[in-house]
């Protein structure tokens, strides 16, 4: 199993929307590095959902339910892909970007180093640590 973080604007699609809908197609990725990360995802991988722009906080845990396939909105080029995800659980408490930045243990987190990247890999230790932070 691999671990990931996906960023979304909560005004467009929030973790609560994912819970309400029960699943979603993760589309709209138009960055080659983020696309390659989508291609690397496997069914069952865990994903932290991060609310960007207004909230700037981790909101919940999701799971990849279908591996990458061509983005239906990208015809005919087929440069872009999507994955399907399902909700697992909300975090017990939102973990803010300020908290993450203030924690020296998380200084190398892709969210800090590549702040504009919308889909990023996480080490399992970082994933677990971020979930534990939400329990405090």
CB count in 10 Å sphere of residue 22: 8
The pLDDT of residue 79 is 87
Strand partners, 61: 48, 89
CB count in 10 Å sphere of residue 113: 10
Mean pLDDT of 19-35: 95
Q: Say which CATH topology domain 3-134 has.
A: ph1033 like fold (3.10.590)
pLDDT of 75 above 90 = no
The pLDDT of residue 73 is 84
Whether the upstream peptide bond of residue 76 has omega within 30° of 0, thus cis, is: yes
- pLDDT bucket at 59, cuts 50 / 70 / 90: very high
Token pair, residue 45, equals 């991988």
Rounded distance between C-alpha atoms, residue 15 and residue 60, angstroms: 6
CB count in 10 Å sphere of residue 40: 14
pLDDT of 45 above 90 = yes
pLDDT of 76 above 80 = no
Calculate the average pLDDT of the chain.
95
Domain segments of the chain: what residues? 3-134
CA-wise closest residue to 1 among 61, 74, 89, 71? 61
- Contact present, 26 and 5 (Cβ < 8 Å): no
The pLDDT of residue 120 is 97
């Amino acid at each position: 199993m691999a671990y990931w973080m996906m960023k979304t604007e909560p005004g467009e699609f929030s973790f609560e929307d994912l819970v309400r809908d029960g699943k979603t197609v993760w589309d709209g990725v138009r960055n080659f590095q983020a696309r390659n990360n989508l291609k690397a995802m496997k069914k069952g991988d865990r994903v932290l959902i991060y609310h960007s722009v207004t909230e700037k906080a981790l909101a919940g845990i999701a799971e990849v339910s279908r591996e990458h396939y061509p983005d239906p909105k990208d015809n005919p080029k087929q440069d872009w892909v999507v994955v399907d995800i399902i909700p697992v659980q909300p975090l017990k408490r939102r973990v803010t970007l300020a908290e993450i930045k203030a924690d020296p243990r998380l200084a190398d987190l892709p969210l800090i180093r590549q702040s504009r990247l919308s889909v990023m890999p996480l080490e399992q230790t970082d994933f677990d640590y971020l979930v534990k932070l939400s329990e405090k």
